Structure 1
Amino acid sequence: MGQALQVKRCDVQAAGNNQAHHTAAISTERLVVRRGQPFALTLHFGSPVPGGGLRQLRRTSLVAQTGPRPSKADGSLVEIPISRLDNWTGWEVAVDAQDASSWSLVVTAPPDAPVGHYALLLRHVSALGQATQCPLASFALLFNPWCRGDSVFLPNEAQRQEYVLNQDGTIYWGLEEAPQEQPWDFGQLSGDMVDISLALLEVIRLFWPPDATPPPPRPWELRSPLHVCRLLNALLNSEAHRALLEGCWTGEHSDGTPPFQWPGSLPILRQWLATRCRPVRYGQGWVSAAVLCSVLRTLGIPTRVVSNFSSSAGALSVEERFDENAALISSTSEEEEDEARVWPFRVWNECWMSRQDLEPGYHGWQAIDATPQDTGRGLHCCGPAPVKAIREGRLDLPYDVATFFAATNATCIPWVRLESGALEPAFSSPKYVGNYISTKGVGSERCEDITHNYKAPEGSAEETAVLEKAWQTLAERQEPGRGGTGCRAPPWLRPGAQAEVEAEEPLLLFARLQAEESSLALGRDARLSVAVASASSRERPLQVVLGAQALRYDGRALQQFWKEEFHVTVRDRHEHVLRTTLPYAEYGPALKSSLLLKVTALVRDRPPLSTRSPAFLAWQEIHLAAPGLLVQIPESVTQFQPTEAKVQLHNPLPEPLADCVVSVSGRGLVHKERSYRLGPIEAGATRHLSIPFTPTQAGARRLTIHVGSSSLLQPRRTLETIRVARAATQSSPLSREAQ
C-alpha cells in the first residue's frame, strides 16, 4: 500500500509543444513554452500503477519551481494537484489519457506566471502518508503575445510575426533627409538565446546593488513585462554594475569592435557571457537598442527598434552656441554629462504591453531608451513610457515621459559667443526636433514613418495645446526633472519667448544654407550655396562666414577644419546667392569618428557699423556615403539549387582602399558568415566578386553583404531580398541544416 510511483520516463513532446507555442525555430528537442497556453507531456511508469489509476491521481501533484531558492511564499514554487482545476495557484494539470503504464497530462501555466527556467517534479503521497518527489523535466517559460490573458497580448498576427519572430532587422541612422539602412541580425530564435536572455535576468539578481533603482528583481516580479523591461534596460543603460556594452564616441576602437562592425546581437551577447559579464567594447545607443530588442523578443515581448532624427538629449530647450567663425561650440569632456544637445539621430525601442499601473488608455507601445546616460536616480533606466502619453504631453506619467517628450519636441535657441566671451542672441530659421520617427515596416523592408504616434502635426492647434500643457507641468515642479522625467527646462523659456525677443530686436537678416546633396558620396566635393537677404530697403554691407566641422553621432561637433569668409552688399530686399565648394581634400582627413559633417553660415553686419543687428545663423548637416555596392541576383532562385550573387565594388576615392574584405550572410541562404579578402582596391578601380550559395529555405530571404576596409571609417552594408521558390521535394539533408 505504501509503494511509490516509479516514473521510468517523461516525454515532454518538445517538437509538438514547441510548434504550438511558436518556439520550434528555437529548438525541437528541449521544451520552450509560453504562459497561458497548454502543453502536453506523458509519464511512462516502470511498473503498473498500483491501487488503481483514479486513486493514485488524487494523491499525486506536479511541482513547478523556478529560481535559485524556490519558495511558495514568493510564488517561485507551486504545487498543482492533478485532479483539481480550481486550485489557487492558477496552474492547471488535466488528464488527457491514462492506463496502467502511462499518464498523458496537459499542463497550463497561468498567463501571469513568472518567466524563467522551470523544473517540473512529480509529488506523490502514499496511502500511509509518505510523500516522495521525483524530477520529471525542465522547461523554459516565456511571455505569450498570442494569449489574450497575457499582458503582452498583441492581437495582430502580422505584427506578432514581425515583432516577436522576425530575426531580420533594419536600423535607420544618419540624417532625416538621407536615412541610412543598417541590416541587423536579431537572432532571437537561435538555440542559446533563451538561456542567454534568462541568464541576463539572473546576473541582474546576483550583481545588482541592493539600494539601486530599480531594485534587484524578486522572483514574482518576473511575471511583469514592465519590470522585466526596466531591469534589462538598466543593464544596457548603465556604464557600471556589469553593463553589457561600453560606449565609445571618439572613433578609437583598436581594443574592441567598432559599433558599426557588429553584424547582429548574438556575437555581443555571447562575448559578454564568455568574458564573465565584462562590458563588450564597443557600442553606441543604436547597438544597445538592437541588443535589447533581441533579448525582449526572445522572452516573448513584442519589440521594435525606433529611430528619431534630430533628437534632443537632456532638455526641453537646447542652447546651441557658435563662435564668430561659425563653429558650433561643444562642451569640454568634464561638462559633457550635463550638456543638452541635439543628436543627429537617436535610437530606442518600443515594447507592446498593457499598463495596469496607469489609468486606462495607455496600453500598447511603450518607449524605452537603452542609450547609456545618467538620470541621477541610481542605476540608469529610461522608460517604459506610453507613446500615447508622449504625444499628449502627460509628463506626470511614469516612466520618463518627459525625456521622450523633450527628445521629440525640444526648442533650439542659438547664441553667438563673441571674442570677448559675451553671449549674443542670434536668429535662425526654426530648428525642429523629432523628425521622421521611423521603424522597419511589418513584413517588408520599407521604412515606416510613425512620427504621428509621438506628436501632433507641426503648427497645429493640438500641438500648441500639448506644448502649453507640458510647459505648465514643468513650471509647477520645484526641481527640474523631479518625478523621474530626466527633463530640464530653464524657467525663462516658454512658448512665445523667442517671439518676444524678435519683437525687441526686429529681424533684418535672412540666410539659407544648402548643400546640393544631403547624402554625398565619400570622395566627392560638396557644393554649397548661401542665399542672403535683408528685410531693409537700404544698402547693407554684410559679412558671411562659412565653417565646417565633423559631427559625432551624439551631437558633439569636433574642431573646425574649414572656413571661408565673404563680403557682400545687399539692397532693396534682393536675395544674393553665394556659391562655394568644400573639397574632399579638406573634409576627408577630418573624419575621425563619424561620417557626418556640419556646415554653418553666420551672417552679420560688416564693421565698422556703429550698431549691429543680431547675427543670423543657418546650418546644414551632410552625410557621407561609403563606396557603393552593385549586387546582381538571378531572377529565378530555387530551394536546394546552387546559384550565385555578383558583387561590384567601386573605389571613388583618390587613394587606395586598403585591406578590403567582403562578408556575406543570410539565414536560409548561406551557412554561417563567409568572408572574401580582396586586398587593396586602387583609386578609381572596380572589383568584381562572385558569391556562390545554395538556398535551404523557401520564401523571402535576406542576403546581407558587408564591405570593410582599414581605409574606411565605417563599413558599407547592403541587403538584397531574395524570393526562393520551394523545391518540388524537400528530402535534401540541407533542409535540416541549422542556419
Structure 2
Amino acid sequence: MLFGGIGVMACRNPVLPVISRLIQHESDALDYSATEEDQLLLTVQQINARIGPTLMENRWSSDYSGGKDPASWTGSVAIFETYLRTGRPVKYGQCWVVSALVVTVRRGANNNIVSLNPVCRALGIPCRPVTAYQCGHDMGDSFVLNLHKRFNKTGDIRSRYEGGSCWVYHAWNDIWIERRDLRFGLGGWQAIDATRRSLRNGKFGALNILSRESGPASVEAIKTNQKHPILLDDNGEQDLQDITNEYKHTDCRTRKLPNCVPVFKGRDVIFTLAPMRRTEFGQAFTVAVKIQNNCDEERYITCALSINSVFYNAVVASGIKSINQELVVKPNDVGEVKVEVSFDDYYKRTVDEDLIKITTLAIVGKTKQIWSEDYYFLLYKPSLIFEFSKHPVLNEATIMSVTFRNHLKVPITDGTFVVEGSGLLNPKTIRIGDVGPDEQVTMSEEITPMRPDYLNMFATFSSKELRGVVGSTTVKVNQREKWLTKFIKTLKHK
C-alpha cells in the first residue's frame, strides 16, 4: 500500500464551507449533545459517509460524458468550488480522487509541512492517504475470495471471483485518533474509506478490510489480515515508505494464520512469466512464458495466454490478444510460449490508466500439474515539460509554459490542458484541439506568485486517444531583496 502525501492546493475559502455542509446534512446532522470523546469520532464518520455520495459522484467506466475524466483533476479546490456553486455531487471521481478530498498536504523545503488542507487536516485531524495494490474487495462479509479460471480453444482466459473481486489498486485514508470506545491498544491509525461501492444487499461499502460502514477501523485490529505490501509515500516517489507491517504480520512464522499454507514444491516443470520491460504507450511489447522441464521424461504441455485491457478495479474492458498452444518440452530442456503485441493490437482498446492484464494458465499432460499467474503492467505516458520565462519572484509576473509532444504514429483529437498551482495559478482548462503525429503543442500562462515558498505546479493533458498524461514541478519563489526594491523605485522616480 502506498501513502501518497504530495498535495495540490493550500487551504482556501471553499474548504470549510464544504465541511460545514457535509457535517450538517439535513437528513442526519451531527448531534452536538454527544460527549467530547464521541464528538471527534462522530465528525469523522459523518464526513466519511458524506464525501462519497454527497460531494463526489463516482463512475467506473470509460464514458465520462456530462463530467470530467477522474484522471484530469489536478486538485481539490475546483471540486469544492463546483460543489458549493451547484449544490450537487461533482462528476466524476474514483477512489484516489475521493481520498485526495479527505486529505491533501503541500510540502515545502526540506520536506517540512507548510500548509494543511481538506478535509480532515482542515479540522486538525492527522490524516494520510494510503494505496493498496492487488487488494480484495469483499462483497459478502466472508473475507474470502475464491478465484475460478477457464480458457477456450483460442486461449482466451476468463477469471471469476466468488464473494467479491480483486482490484488492481484501491485508495483510502488513515486518521490518527484515540479510540476510547475500543479496548486498549486499538487507538492510533484508523482506516476510513469514503469511496462508495454498492453491496449485494443494496447497501454501500468499500475495501473489505474496512467493514461495511467504511471505518474508522483500527489498523492494529486489521493487522491479522493477510494482504499485499502496503507502502506509504510522503512526497511523490522520493521517500516511499513500506507500512505493510502496520497492517499485517509480514512473516507467517510471526502468527499462525489459516491462510499461511505451504505450497507443494514437488513439481518437475517450472513455469516463469518473463519480466516485462518498461513500455511507452505506442510501443510494441512481448509476453513470454519460459517452461523448464527438470525431469528425465518429455512433458506435453498446454499453455493458454490471454492479454486484456482492464479498469483499475480489474474489470476486463476489452480483449487484446490470446493464444492456446500445445508443445512438447524434452527432458531437462526449456521451452517457450511467446506473444507479440503491436500498437495496432491494443490501440483503441485500452481504458483509463492504460492498464494491461496478462493471464496465464498451463497444464502438464501426464502429471496434471497446473500453473497459473496474473500480471498487471502499465503503459507509460510521455511527461509534460514545464518552463518559466524567468525565475519566479514574489508578486512579479512571469510566463509559465507547458509542452506536450505526440509520440504516437496517429493524430490525437480534442486535446485539453488542465493546470493548477497552489499560490501560483487557480485551476484552469485550456483546449488546444488536434495534435498530429510527432507534433508538439505548448500552452502559456502568466502567473504571479502570491507567497515566497516552494510551490508545486501540476498539469494534465487528455484527448480522445490518449488520457492521463501528467506533469508536475516544484519552484522556489524568492522575495526580492529590500535594497534592490528600493533601488528600482529610485530608478522609476528618476
Q: 2:72, 2:418 within 8 Å by CA — same for their partners in 1? A: no
Q: Secondary structure at the match of 1:722?
A: strand
- 1:111-131 CA-to-partner distances (Å, cap 9, x unmatched) read xxxxxxxxxxxxxxxxxxxxx
| TM-score using structure 1 length | 0.56
Against the structure 1 CA distance between its residues 559 and 528, is the aligned structure 2 distance closer, same or farther, given a 3 Å change threshold? same
Q: Equivalent residue for 1:51?
A: none
Q: Which moved more, 1:690-699 or 1:525-534?
A: 690-699
Provide the C-alpha distance between the structure 2 equivalents of 1:247 and 1:656, rounded to a whole number of angstroms.
30
Deviations 1:274-299 (A, max 9, x none): 444x3332221222222222222222
Query: What's the CA shift for 1:366?
Result: 1.0
8 A Cα contact 2:452 2:477, kept in partner: yes
Over residues 332-351 of structure 1, what are the superposed CA-to-partner deviations in whole Å (9 max), with x where a residue is unaligned?
A: xxxx9x74222111100011
**Structure 2 residue matching 1:231: 3-state secondary structure:** helix
d(CA) in 1 for partners of 2:424, 2:281: 31
- Which of 206, 212, 221 does residue 389 from structure 1 map onto? 221
Matched, 1:705 2:465: no
- What is residue 569 of structure 1 aligned with on the other side? 328
Say if 1:263 and 1:306 are closer, same or farther in 2 by CA, change over 3 A. Answer: same
Tell me what 2:127 maps to: 303
Q: For 2:158, what is the secondary structure of its paired residue?
A: coil
* Cα deviation code 1:180-213 (max 9, x no counterpart): x8975355x212321220111111xx224xxxxx
Return the alpha-carbon distance in structure 2 between the equivalents of residues 310 and 725 of structure 1.
Answer: 44
The 3-state SS of whatever aligns with 1:221 is coil
Q: CA RMSD in A?
A: 3.2
5 Å-filtered alignment, 1:632-711, equals: 632=387, 636-670=391-425, 672-711=426-465
Is 1:452 aligned to residue 211 of structure 2?
no
Greater CA drift, 653-662 or 344-353: 653-662
Q: Out of 341, 353, 363, which is 1:582 matched to?
A: 341
- Residues 1:195 and 1:377: Cα distance change in structure 2 (over 3 Å): same
- The change in CA–CA distance for 1:323 and 1:273 in structure 2 (over 3 A counts) is same
- SS of the aligned residue for 1:185 comes to coil
- Gap change, CA 1:379 and 1:530, over 3 Å in 2: closer
Classify 1:282/1:669 alpha carbon distance in 2 versus 1 (closer, same or farther; 3 Å).
Answer: closer
* Aligned counterpart in structure 1 of residue 267 of structure 2, from 498, 507, 510: 507
Counterpart mapping for 1:46-125 below 5 A: none
Q: Report how far residue 436 of structure 1 moved.
A: 4.0
Task: Specify the SS of the correspondent of 1:631.
Answer: strand
Determine the structure 2 residue equivalent to 1:269. 80
Of structures 1 and 2, the one with the larger relative CO (CA 8 A, separation 6+) is 2
User: How far 1:580 sits from its partner (Å)?
Assistant: 3.3
Aligned-partner residue type, residue 698 of structure 1: P
Partner of residue 233, structure 2: 439
Q: 1:689, CA displacement in angstroms?
A: 4.7
Corresponding residue SS for 1:199: helix
Amino acid across the alignment from 1:657: I
- CA deviations 1:60-118 (Å, max 9, x no partner) are xxxxxxxxxxxxxxxxxxxxxxxxxxxxxxxxxxxxxxxxxxxxxxxxxxxxxxxxxxx
In structure 1, the partner of 2:150 is 323
- The question of whether the paired residues in 2 share the 8 Å contact of 1:172 and 1:182 is answered with no
Correspondent of 2:253 among 461, 467, 479: 461
State whether structure 2 residue 94 is matched by structure 1 residue 280. Answer: no
Which structure 2 residues correspond to residues 344-383 of structure 1 after superposition, within 5 A? 344-374=168-198, 380=205, 381-383=213-215
- The secondary structure found in structure 2 opposite 1:356 is coil
The residue number in structure 2 matching 1:260 is: 71
Amino acid at match of 2:194: A
Q: Does 1:196 align with 2:18?
A: yes
Q: Within the alignment, does 1:220 sit opposite 2:33 as a pair?
A: yes
Corresponding residue number in structure 1 for 2:57: 246
- 1:403-430 deviation digits (Å, cap 9, x = unpaired): xx3xxx2xxxxxxxxxxxxxxxxxxxxx
Q: Which amino acid aligns with 2:146?
A: E
What does 1:12-51 align with in structure 2 at a 5 Å threshold?
A: none
Distance in 2 (CA, whole Å) between partners of 1:641 and 1:266 is 24
Please give the per-residue CA displacement for 1:498-539, whole angstroms capped at 9, x wherever unaligned: 74xx49xx534332223532x521111112221112343211
Do the aligned partners of residues 377 and 319 (structure 1) sit closer, same or farther apart at CA in structure 2, a change above 3 Å counting?
same
Q: SS at 2:232's partner residue?
A: strand
Alignment of 1:471-510 (within 5 A): 471=258, 494-496=259-261, 499=263, 502=264, 507-510=267-270
SS class of match (1:604): strand
- Residues 447 and 253 of structure 1: is their aligned pair in 2 closer, same or farther, counting only changes over 3 Å? same
Q: Verify the 8 A CA contact 1:705 1:718 in the aligned structure 2.
A: yes
Amino acid paired to 1:289: S
- The offset of 1:638, in angstroms, is 3.0
Q: Kindly tell me: are residues 298 and 615 of structure 1, through their superposed partners in 2, closer, same or farther at Cα, counting changes over 3 Å?
A: same
Specify whether residues 619 and 692 from structure 1 end up closer, same or farther in structure 2 by C-alpha distance, changes over 3 A only. Answer: same
Structure-2 separation of matches of 1:222 and 1:233: 20
What CA deviation, in whole Å up to 9, does each residue of 1:378-411 have, x standing for no partner? Answer: 66521112222222x2xxxxxxxxxxx3xxx2xx
How many residue pairs end up in the alignment?
Answer: 456
Residues 330/266 of structure 1: CA separation in 2 closer, same or farther (3 Å cut):
farther
Structure 2 residue runs without a partner (length 5+): 104-117, 206-212, 487-494
Cα pair 2:6 2:235 within 8 Å, conserved: no
Cα deviation digits, residues 436-461 of structure 1 (max 9, x gap)? 4233249x96443322322233x452
TM normalised by structure 2 equals 0.82
SS at match of 2:319: coil
Q: CA deviation at 1:636?
A: 4.6
Quote how far apart the aligned CAs of 1:252 are: 0.9
Alpha-carbon deviation of 1:308? Answer: 1.0
**Correspondent of 1:235 among 27, 30, 50:** 50
Task: Give, in angstroms, the shift of residue 604 of structure 1.
Answer: 2.0
Share of identical aligned residues, percent? Answer: 21
> How much does 1:719 deviate?
1.0
**Aligned mates of 1:677, 1:255 — CA distance in 2:** 17
User: Partners of 2:203 and 2:362 in 1: how far apart?
Assistant: 45
**Aligned-partner residue type, residue 31 of structure 2:** R
Query: Does 638-647 or 691-700 show the bigger shift?
Result: 638-647
Distance 1:641 1:668 in 2: 13
- The residue aligned with 1:185 is 8
Determine the structure 2 residue equivalent to 1:422: none
User: Which digits, 9 at most, give the CA deviation of each residue in 1:113-156, with x for residues without a partner?
Assistant: xxxxxxxxxxxxxxxxxxxxxxxxxxxxxxxxxxxxxxxxxxxx
TM-superposed CA distance for 1:674, in Å, is: 3.8
Q: Deviations over 1:623-653 (max 9, x none)?
A: 1223322334579543234444453322121
